[in-house]
Chains A and B, each alone.
Chain A
Amino acid sequence: AQTVTQSQPEMSVQEAETVTLSCTYDTSESDYYLFWYKQPPSRQMILVIRQEAYKQQNATENRFSVNFQKAAKSFSLKISDSQLGDAAMYFCAYKMNYGGATNKLIFGTGTLLAVQP
């Protein structure tokens, strides 16, 4: 079974600084997606960034980038120039890229990010 582990329950960063959130996962599949979702206090889960496992190039979305290490099964999120609005719970998630009966997301336990002014 696939699992996702986030070992940092809480992180803190100063405004305008850079922070890295860690995620490891376990799977025997070779074709899958990895995601970082942001969940603010309002609870609406928002997709931050995604990575296809077959792509070697790390994904980047503006201030957000990932470090995807497929062999090590590691998928960290780097937030540059942190802003107060980045404060939220961040979830790492996995999804098989398989046209089968289910396309469910498997989530980690989350990292609560605080941004200090």
Chain B
Amino acid sequence: GAGVSQSPRYKVAKRGQDVALRCDPISGHVSLFWYQQALGQGPEFLTYFQNEAQLDKSGLPSDRFFAERPEGSVSTLKIQRTQQEDSAVYLCASSLTGDSYEQYFGPGTRLTVT
């Protein structure tokens, strides 16, 4: 079956532009996570959804970051007025339930802000 997919795989944005990153989780997976991975670092948690409810957004670095999952499946991470420090790989992961130990990761979107 299909795994987690993300689009686009690469995105170049000029400083100040808005970007939208898409995540398609595994069908039927209740939980969805967004992580940010800076170059040479481990992923860092951004936000967590259970179905359409955003239960934790404590990792979002500023109010320029916004995530949604309106129908409990596809999720979009939006970054407004991008800054150079937003350059990173954005990883999406899904799990079957909220208590599942395993998260399945997508290939990520590499965002470069010039």
A associates with B: yes
A residues touching B (Cβ–Cβ < 8 Å)? 4, 33, 35, 42-47, 50, 52, 91, 93, 95, 97, 99, 101-110
The contact of A103 among B89, B95, B105, by CB within 8 Å, is B95
B residues in contact with A50, CB < 8 Å: 101-102
Stretch at the interface among B11-19, B42-50, B65-73, B74-82: B42-50
B residues touching A (Cβ–Cβ < 8 Å)? 31, 33, 35, 40-45, 48, 55-56, 58-59, 89, 91, 93, 95, 98-103, 105-108
Contact B45 A101 (CB under 8 A): no
In the complex, number of A-B residue pairs with CB atoms less than 8 Å apart: 67
B residues in contact with A103, CB < 8 Å: 31, 33, 48, 95, 98-100
In the complex formed, the residue of A with least CB distance to B53 is A101
9 new A-B contacts at CB < 8 Å, known A102-B58, A104-B33, A110-B41 = A42-B107, A45-B43, A46-B105, A47-B102, A99-B99, A102-B56, A104-B56, A109-B41, A110-B42
Distance of A108 from chain B, by nearest CB (Å) = 5
How far apart sit A30 and B102, CA to CA, in the bound complex (Å)? 19
A residues in contact with B31, CB < 8 Å: 103
